[in-house]
């Protein structure tokens, strides 16, 4: 089979059909219906072998994560995911049955989990495996949660443990297997929580490049500052044995968490917690100015925020 028919064979029926798709894989373009009174939400993220995942990462995990990171962006706006398109640049030695089957299975698993359809894509040959996923979703326009809405006095929250993926990556690069490997390979996009936060959160972002750097994106976009209480940032017990510096390095600068970071008024936080207990965790407060101040047990500390640098 040619490369193209291989992919067609494995991808065409890999994911569930979605009621809004009029034409999916197989024609020049896909055609989709947008639900009445909704807007289209779209994003794209590209993963390059050796840069966004280590060589020899299983094809299943690569496919799964390429989609998950995009769904995480949709989650960060409160959107409902609908479909993906996949641009696949494949080295010749990977255009084989085993790779395409496992890759398709990874796509299938995450798309089934969230009820989304693979509606198209493009396939080319390239020296380095590169996957570019475009994700589409829907939202009622006024409901979208952007980065710009944080207000002085809002509480800063995260949706779960921070630093696990960075811990796993460090272990992997040192040649150790770690109990947190799945946090690195199989991030869990917080789709449902993102939707639940509509009407509550004032600003939101997903944590891909490190909590410190991603929170700063909210601060810059909203024109505010923040105080973080580092002892309140949730972490997996595996991080409890690390020194403070090591732990903060994973939590503030590590990235690949794909948890949500959001701001919410104290009133809304109380209401939200009453209806949705134990889903978001307060880690700080929005302040006037434009600085990110870090505190540990009430004492201000000096720690360099340097998230993932793309260039
Ligand atoms: P064209 O040359 O018109 O761009 P292609 O031959 O590239 O069309 O693709 C044919 C069909 O297969 C299209 O519907 C396209 O969306 C789909 N397709 C190609 N590559 C992929 C892929 N990696 N994932 C999903 N669909 C794909
Ligand atoms: Mg094409």
CA distance 30 to 35: 16
CA distance 147 to 138: 18
pLDDT given for residue 5 in this prediction: 82
Average pLDDT of adjacent 10-residue blocks, the chain of 311 residues: 79 95 96 98 96 92 98 98 97 93 97 98 95 98 97 98 97 94 97 98 98 98 98 98 97 97 98 98 98 97 83 71
124 Cα–ligand 2 center, Å: 8
CA distance 207 to 235: 14
**CB count in 10 Å sphere of residue 72:** 26
Ligand 1 within 6 A of 10 CB?
A: no
pLDDT given for residue 90 in this prediction: 94
Ligand 1 within 6 A of 199 CB?
A: no
Ligand 1 within 6 A of 25 CB?
A: yes
Ligand 1 within 6 A of 11 CB?
A: yes
Ligand 1 within 6 A of 21 CB?
A: no
* Residue listed under structure tokens 């020899």: 56
Tokens standing for residue 45: 């993220």
CA distance 143 to 32: 22
The rounded Cα 244 to chain-centroid distance in angstroms is: 25
pLDDT given for residue 79 in this prediction: 98
CA distance 34 to 247: 44
**CB count in 10 Å sphere of residue 66:** 27
| Residue whose CA is at the smallest distance from ligand 1 atom 18 | 121
Helix (H, G, I), strand (E, B) or coil at 286: strand
pLDDT given for residue 1 in this prediction: 60
Ligand 1 within 6 A of 88 CB?
A: yes
| Residue whose CA is at the smallest distance from ligand 1 atom 9 | 122
pLDDT given for residue 120 in this prediction: 96
Which ligand has the nearest atom to the CA of 29?
A: 1
Report which ligand 1 atom has the smallest distance to the Cα of 122. Answer: 20
**CB count in 10 Å sphere of residue 91:** 14
Nearest residue to 267 (alpha-carbon basis) of 161, 179, 104, 153: 153
pLDDT given for residue 139 in this prediction: 98
Which ligand has the nearest atom to the CA of 100?
A: 1
117 Cα–ligand 1 center, Å: 14
| Most distant pair of Cα atoms in the chain: their distance | 64
């Amino acid at each position: 089979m040619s490369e193209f028919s291989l992919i067609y064979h494995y991808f065409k029926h890999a994911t569930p059909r979605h009621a809004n798709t009029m034409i999916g894989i197989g024609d020049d373009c896909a055609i989709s219906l947008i639900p009445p009174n909704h807007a289209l939400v779209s994003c794209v993220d590209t993963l390059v072998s050796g840069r966004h995942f280590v060589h020899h990462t299983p094809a299943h995990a690569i496919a799964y994560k390429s989609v998950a990171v995009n769904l995480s962006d949709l989650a960060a706006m409160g959107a409902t995911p609908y479909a993906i398109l996949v641009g696949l640049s494949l080295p010749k030695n990977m255009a084989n049955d085993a790779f395409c089957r496992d890759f398709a299975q990874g796509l299938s698993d995450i798309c089934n989990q969230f009820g989304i359809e693979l509606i198209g894509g493009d396939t080319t040959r390239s020296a380095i495996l590169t996957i570019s996923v475009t994700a589409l979703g829907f939202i009622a326009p006024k409901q979208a949660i952007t980065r710009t809405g944080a207000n002085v006095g809002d509480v800063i929250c995260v949706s779960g443990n921070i630093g696990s993926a960075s811990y796993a990556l460090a272990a992997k690069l040192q040649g150790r297997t770690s109990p947190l490997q799945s946090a690195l390979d199989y991030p869990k996009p917080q789709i449902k929580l993102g939707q639940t936060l509509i009407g509550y959160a004032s600003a939101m972002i997903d944590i891909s490049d490190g909590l410190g750097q991603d929170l700063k994106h909210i601060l810059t976009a909203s024109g505010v500052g923040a105080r973080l209480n580092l002892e309140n940032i949730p972490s997996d017990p595996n991080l409890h044995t690390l020194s403070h510096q090591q732990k903060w390095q994973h939590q503030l600068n590590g990235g690949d968490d794909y948890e949500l970071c959001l701001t919410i008024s104290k009133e809304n936080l109380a209401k939200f917690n009453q209806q949705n207990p134990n889903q978001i965790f307060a880690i700080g407060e929005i302040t006037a100015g434009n600085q990110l101040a870090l505190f540990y047990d009430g004492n201000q500390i000096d720690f360099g925020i340097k998230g993932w640098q793309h260039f």
